[in-house]
Amino acid sequence: MTAIRNIHTSIDVPADVKTVWAAWTTNDGARSFFAPGSNFFVRVEGAYEIFFNPAGEPGMRGGDDMRILTYQPHHMLSFTWNAPPSIPEIRKQRTLVVLTFDQISESETRVTLDHMGWGTGKDWDEAFEYFVAAWNDQVLPCLKYRFEVGAIDWDNRPDVESLRR
């Protein structure tokens, strides 16, 4: 029997839950830590697109055509996700990301991320490892950096080591 894989990680962010929620659910918020471009429409089946390469061709900008599946304001958000363009065979399929937001004090929120829905095989293994690093070494540290230092300047992005502090 094959074990079901899941990326499970969390980070504590120095901001209240409503502010952290807005970072994940508004275009201005996402552009301050996640990527330089986005297209969100927060409703079930609404757009949840993250553009790491906003000038790229449609389908090659990043999280093109992703959708919100469920949400509970200030508590939970789930959306579809795809593999990077460098893994075209499985990019056509979707995985699932679930975020939960827990206020741990007046000025601190724990964001927990679960990324699931992984297939088997070499390409799926590559995508899984890619996202272990992407969530843990880039996206979540950028979220914390955004609240500790300020919005990410996408033309002068901080190096990975400064994000891990």
Q: Which CATH number goes with the domain that contains 40?
A: 3.30.530.20
Going from the C-alpha of 82 to that of each of 13, 64, 116, the distances in angstroms are: 26, 8, 11
Within a domain: residue 1? no
Domain that holds residue 15: 6-163
Contact 44, 57 (CB under 8 A): no
Within a domain: residue 149? yes
**Pairing relationship of beta strands 108-116 and 95-105 according to DSSP bridges:** antiparallel
Number of domains in the chain: 1
Query: Average model confidence (pLDDT) for the chain?
Result: 93
Give the list of residues 6+ apart from residue 18 with CB closer than 8 angstroms, or none. Answer: 74
pLDDT computed for residue 165 by the predictor: 54
pTM for the whole structure: 0.93
Backbone angles phi, psi at 140, to 5 degrees: -65, -40
pLDDT computed for residue 161 by the predictor: 72
Please list the ranges in the chain whose pLDDT falls under 50.
none
